[in-house]
Amino acid sequence: MASVFSGVLQLTDLDDFITPSQECVKPVKVEKKQGRSVAKIQIEDDGSYIQVNQDGEKQKLERAKITLNDCLACSGCITSAESVLITQQSHEELFKVLRNNTNEKEQKIVVVSLSPQSRASLAAHYGLSSSETGRRLTTFLKSLGVHHVFDTNFSRTFSLLESQKEFLDRFQRKEQDHKALPMLTSACPGWICYAEKTHGEFILPYISSTRSPQQMMGSLVKCYFAEQQGLSPQQIYHVTVMPCFDKKLEASRSDFYLTNNETREVDCVITSGEVLKMLEEENVSLTDVTPMPLDTLFSNVSGNEYLSHAGSSSGGYLHHVFINAAKQLFGEEIKELTYKTLRNKDFQEITLERDGVVVLSFAAAYGFRNIQNLVQKLKRGKSPYHFVEVMACPSGCINGGGQVKPSLGENPKELLHKVDELYKADLPAVPEEDTHVAELYETWLQSVGSDRAKELLHTQYHTVEKMTNGLVMKW
């Protein structure tokens, strides 16, 4: 029988993100010796940098640009990448692609995949329901020249099903492979970057190889959809709308580059906040947009309403893997999960007991303090868990750094609560009951063979060597 604990995910320390490395921290005031004179660098209200020499002469400095590759090569920060000037993936870039996409012969098919967390964030901003926001965003994006608007809840169904299978496999080989468990989730690129750079070889075997919903959608759009449409993958420009900047880093990983076709599975990632900027730059308020029917090809919808997954608003991995494992391994049908809150609300656990013995022990660890504690426990051989849903952001993906910021005077915790409620208002979907996904497993994935199917649904991680410049923070 499942142990039942009280407690739901609550909002705690909203700022427990990874701290940016020294290289990426903006200087507030820098004094620089120029020969004998001293020059000061000051930041203007518009964010520009001005060098002021001793006799008061001012000179505007060029902004240093950090590309995604620089960012990936750095051994310091990754998450909370607001301070990183990302040039390849931005709403300006998307506007550019859409405006230049008029030549019929060279026209790209533009696909946008919306995350449910971004829909909820924009819904809270405009006072709409999450589904209504999706319908209106579909109208807005199509008015700009987007051809299809999909939903990453659909690709998340693949991620959840693969995670369930992977957990069963790891559980069954836990006696032979001492790093089979705990299985640590992999959908959060902030956590993955941290793991690769700070705990490399030790931690990577524990991390689930299952692709995140964004990269599952990458496979679906650039491989399956392209083939169905008689297109090559480069003829599709695939954009995702995500709650954080870290997803840009995920999309730019070399593992998700289709070398033969010289294209990425996801070409551009924009955040919820950037979608808001696009609306504002086009002088459009979503409240004035006429909603249109949702694209159903790769969307989790029932009629005109989106379906989402039960469990956390970071994807519900713990929820779905726990329920499946309890049933498959111990014949227990679990209808509802409630969690025991440990040292803080961002660290929760749940267990399944049989005859007073814990047979399954799962946890959710959000925010870097909890992640660091988890890693330390693992290193000391003191982790009691079989599975951990790991997310870099405190409170998870609804609190991602790319979500719409609170309006002037708006309380951030209240906004977060509102976004959470809107996210959870979507009707729940059960991954195992999704007939469209089951059909794709049978047709598409069986036809490509098991090795190729594995590539399309899974990925791998790599130890990243630390830079030794003396400035990198010790984690």
Contact residues for ligand SF4, defined by CB under 6 A: 79, 188, 190, 243-244, 246, 314, 391-393, 396-397, 400
Strand order in the sheet with 30-34: 30-34, 37-43, 49-52, 58-61
Q: What is the end-to-end Cα distance of the chain in Å, rounded?
A: 39
DSSP result, 243-261: SSTHHHHHHTSGGGEEGGG
Q: How far is the CB of 297 from ligand SF4 (least distance, A)?
A: 25
For ligand SF4, the closer of residues 171 and 191 by Cβ is 191
Determine how many CB atoms are found less than 10 A away from the CB of residue 294.
22
For ligand SF4, the closer of residues 204 and 393 by Cβ is 393
Are the C-beta atoms of 236 and 111 separated by less than 8 Å? yes
Tell me the CB-side half-sphere exposure of residue 324, using CA atoms within 13 A.
22
For ligand SF4, the closer of residues 90 and 351 by Cβ is 90
Q: How far is the CB of 190 from ligand SF4 (least distance, A)?
A: 3
For ligand SF4, the closer of residues 351 and 370 by Cβ is 370
Q: How far is the CB of 17 from ligand SF4 (least distance, A)?
A: 8
Q: How far is the CB of 30 from ligand SF4 (least distance, A)?
A: 30
For ligand SF4, the closer of residues 326 and 416 by Cβ is 416
For ligand SF4, the closer of residues 246 and 295 by Cβ is 246
SS3 11: coil
Q: Which residues pair with 364 in a beta bridge?
A: 348, 389
For ligand SF4, the closer of residues 20 and 400 by Cβ is 400
SS3 350: strand
Q: How far is the CB of 321 from ligand SF4 (least distance, A)?
A: 17
Parallel, antiparallel or unpaired: strands 305-309 and 347-354: unpaired
Closest Cα to residue 181, out of 368, 359, 332, 343? 359
Residue sitting closest to ligand SF4 (CB): 400
For ligand SF4, the closer of residues 233 and 315 by Cβ is 315
Placement of tokens 């005031």 in the chain: 29
Determine how many CB atoms are found less than 10 A away from the CB of residue 127.
11
Q: How far is the CB of 159 from ligand SF4 (least distance, A)?
A: 12
Q: How far is the CB of 242 from ligand SF4 (least distance, A)?
A: 7
Gyration radius from the chain CA atoms: 23
Q: How far is the CB of 429 from ligand SF4 (least distance, A)?
A: 20
Strands of 169-304, DSSP E:
183-184, 236-242, 257-258, 263-264, 268-271, 301-302
Closest Cα to residue 426, out of 52, 88, 151, 240? 151
